[in-house]
């Protein structure tokens, strides 16, 4: 290779590495600011509320089930299998979901995935092509942007109201002839807000009216990794019951504490319009490299499907954190699920606010990274004593600025 070509290759890789390094920018940047602080002062008392890594351990039944399956001497239980997942596990999940989601779901309308992220990727590959548009609601999970860009499609952001529910007037405006997918996340990361049944029905009505008037069939993908850690008296509306062209994606990362094991599923209701969907998913997963969810994790699901971490602990943390912030004059829309809170930033420049918090020993993430400036996200995956202390530091800092 001559010298000029060598420079070209180096420049190409530099651009690619820089491009990929910017994914998840605000979360990564706040984490690195914290790391820099610790390098300068290893004794610094830093409370990290930036990363959404659930800290509650799996219920005991999960550990026992894994041990029992590992002691099984039956041959072939760790080999390759159907990309869609073990038939008996898909059948079990279909039976459970048919009841909970009030929809007709079968073994052939459940596809086991490498976490919720793997499920989103293989679905988007089926529905998106170059120059298509995919609608997301702000605040949104930041990874949705690169997921959509992977297929040379365009992410279109719809605003939310002061309660972090979708602005339906803005949705009407943003839908175009190029809209192929709406990617919905409820309960939401970062806000913890659960979209109301009325909101979901209004979204569905907009899509159905569009289909009637123009023939345009917009797919609705509901990303629900927090749906089974909702707080008291809350219920997640069934997307499969409400809309014919919908796809449900869930994982077991948060509800039974298996984030690192990467197991989830896609489910859809039986309908003639979706015949062949499972084969399309098999092919999409194969092309992308998601060739079968971990078999051991699949096998435990019928034994642990209805287990839960102690959701009350998450709710206690949320209530305590919000209560202390409220005393300091910081407003927060109360979450309905999960371990994230999304308070209003005391100053409009949320990045400046979060950078200032680092010096006070607290890491949070600017709302701008979630498409919603003027807010900040705190991930309450620390012991409650640290969460209380972090809230006090944030309140004190607010009084200083």
Structure tokens at 34: 């914290």
Contact, 332 vs 399, CB < 8 A?
Answer: no
Element (DSSP H or E) covering residue 143:
none
Contact, 240 vs 105, CB < 8 A?
Answer: yes
Taking the mean position of all CA atoms in its chain, how far away is CA 146?
Answer: 14
Among 276, 304, 332, identify where a domain stops: 304
Looking at the fold, whether 43 and 75 belong to one and the same domain comes out as no
Q: Is residue 169 one of the residues assigned to a domain?
A: yes
Q: What angle do CA 212, 218, 219 make, to 5 degrees?
A: 135
Looking at the fold, whether 35 and 101 belong to one and the same domain comes out as no
For residue range 238-248, list pLDDT tens digits in order. Answer: 999 999 999 99
Looking at the fold, whether 87 and 206 belong to one and the same domain comes out as yes
**H-assigned helices in 259-360:** 277-288, 295-304, 311-327, 350-359
Q: Is residue 15 one of the residues assigned to a domain?
A: no
Among 304, 321, 344, identify where a domain stops: 304
Q: Is residue 1 one of the residues assigned to a domain?
A: no
Looking at the fold, whether 141 and 263 belong to one and the same domain comes out as yes
Q: Which domain holds residue 86?
A: 60-304
**H-assigned helices in 128-248:** 144-149, 168-174, 197-214, 239-242
Q: Is residue 111 one of the residues assigned to a domain?
A: yes
Looking at the fold, whether 224 and 77 belong to one and the same domain comes out as yes
For residue range 79-133, list pLDDT tens digits in order. Answer: 999 999 999 999 999 999 999 999 999 999 999 999 999 999 999 999 999 999 9
Instruction: List all residues 6 or more positions away from 219 whose beta carbon is below 8 Å from its beta carbon.
Output: 127, 180, 181, 182, 245, 246, 247
pLDDT of residue 399: 92
Looking at the fold, whether 126 and 230 belong to one and the same domain comes out as yes
Q: What are 67's strand-pairing partners?
A: none
Give the chain's length.
401
Give the C-alpha separation, 106 to 224, whole Å.
20
Cis amide leading into 115 (omega within 30): no
Looking at the fold, whether 167 and 91 belong to one and the same domain comes out as yes
Looking at the fold, whether 39 and 79 belong to one and the same domain comes out as no
Looking at the fold, whether 83 and 177 belong to one and the same domain comes out as yes
Q: Is residue 11 one of the residues assigned to a domain?
A: no
Q: Is residue 9 one of the residues assigned to a domain?
A: no
Give the C-alpha separation, 292 to 298, whole Å.
10
pLDDT of residue 239: 97
pLDDT of residue 33: 76
Q: What is the dihedral of CA 312, 315, 317, 322, to 10 degrees?
A: -160
Looking at the fold, whether 218 and 241 belong to one and the same domain comes out as yes
For residue range 19-54, list pLDDT tens digits in order. Answer: 444 545 787 777 777 777 677 777 778 999 998 899
Q: What is the dihedral of CA 230, 231, 233, 237, to 10 degrees?
A: -20
Q: Is residue 16 one of the residues assigned to a domain?
A: no
For residue range 76-85, list pLDDT tens digits in order. Answer: 999 999 999 9
From the CB of residue 343, how many other CB atoms can be counted at a distance below 10 Å?
24
Place of tokens 């070209």: 8
pLDDT of residue 47: 95
> Based on the structure, what is the number of domains in the chain?
2
Q: Is residue 97 one of the residues assigned to a domain?
A: yes
Average model confidence (pLDDT) for the chain?
A: 92
Give the C-alpha separation, 280 to 120, whole Å.
14
pLDDT of residue 14: 54
From the CB of residue 34, how many other CB atoms can be counted at a distance below 10 Å?
20
Percent helix, strand and coil across the chain, each to the nearest 5: 45, 15, 40
CATH at 244: 3.40.640.10
Among 263, 282, 304, identify where a domain stops: 304
Question: pLDDT-derived band of residue 1, with 50, 70 and 90 as boundaries?
Answer: very low
For residue range 132-164, list pLDDT tens digits in order. Answer: 999 999 999 999 999 999 999 999 999 999 999
Looking at the fold, whether 177 and 278 belong to one and the same domain comes out as yes
Q: What is the DSSP letter of 50?
A: S
CATH at 371: 3.90.1150.10
Looking at the fold, whether 281 and 329 belong to one and the same domain comes out as no
Task: Name which of 259, 375, 286, 307 is nearest 82 in CA terms.
Answer: 286
Give DSSP secondary structure letters for 70-128.
HT---TTTTS---TT--HHHHHHHHHHHHHHTTS---GGGEEEESHHHHHHHHHHHHH-
């Amino acid at each position: 290779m001559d010298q000029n070509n060598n420079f070209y290759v180096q420049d190409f890789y530099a651009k690619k590495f820089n491009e990929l390094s910017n994914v998840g920018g605000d979360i990564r940047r706040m984490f690195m600011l914290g790391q820099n602080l610790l390098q300068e002062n290893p004794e610094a008392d830093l409370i990290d509320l930036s990363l959404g890594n659930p800290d509650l351990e799996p219920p005991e039944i999960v550990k026992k089930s894994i041990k029992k399956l590992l002691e099984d001497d039956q041959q072939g239980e760790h080999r390759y299998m159907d990309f869609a997942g073990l038939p008996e596990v898909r059948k079990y999940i279909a039976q459970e979901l048919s009841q909970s989601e009030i929809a007709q779901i079968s073994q052939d309308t459940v596809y086991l995935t490498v976490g919720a992220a793997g499920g989103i990727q293989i679905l988007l590959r089926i529905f998106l092509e170059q120059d298509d548009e995919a609608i997301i609601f702000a605040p949104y999970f930041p990874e949705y942007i690169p997921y959509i860009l992977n297929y040379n499609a365009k992410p279109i952001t719809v605003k939310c109201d002061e309660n972090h529910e979708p602005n339906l007037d803005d949705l009407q405006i943003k839908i175009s002839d190029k809209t192929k997918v709406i990617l919905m996340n409820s309960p939401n990361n970062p806000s913890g807000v659960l979209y109301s049944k009325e909101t979901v029905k209004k979204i569905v009505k907009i899509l159905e009216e569009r289909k009637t008037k123009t023939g345009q069939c917009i797919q609705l993908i509901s990303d629900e990794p927090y749906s089974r850690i909702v707080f008291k008296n809350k219920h997640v509306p069934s997307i499969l019951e409400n809309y014919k062209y919908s796809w449900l994606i869930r994982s077991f990362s948060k509800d039974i504490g298996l984030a690192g094991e990467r197991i989830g599923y896609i489910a859809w209701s039986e309908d003639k319009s979706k015949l062949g969907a499972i084969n399309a998913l098999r092919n999409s997963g194969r092309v992308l490299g998601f060739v079968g969810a971990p078999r051991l994790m699949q096998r435990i699901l019928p034994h642990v499907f209805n287990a839960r971490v102690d959701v009350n602990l998450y709710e206690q943390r949320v209530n305590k954190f919000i209560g202390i912030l409220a005393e300091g004059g910081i407003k927060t829309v109360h979450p309905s699920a999960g371990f994230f809170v999304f308070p209003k930033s005391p100053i409009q420049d949320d990045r400046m606010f979060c950078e200032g918090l680092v010096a006070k020993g607290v890491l949070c993430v600017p709302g701008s990274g979630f498409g919603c400036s003027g807010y900040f996200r705190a991930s309450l995956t620390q012991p409650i004593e640290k969460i209380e202390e972090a809230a006090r530091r944030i309140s004190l800092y607010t009084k200083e600025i």
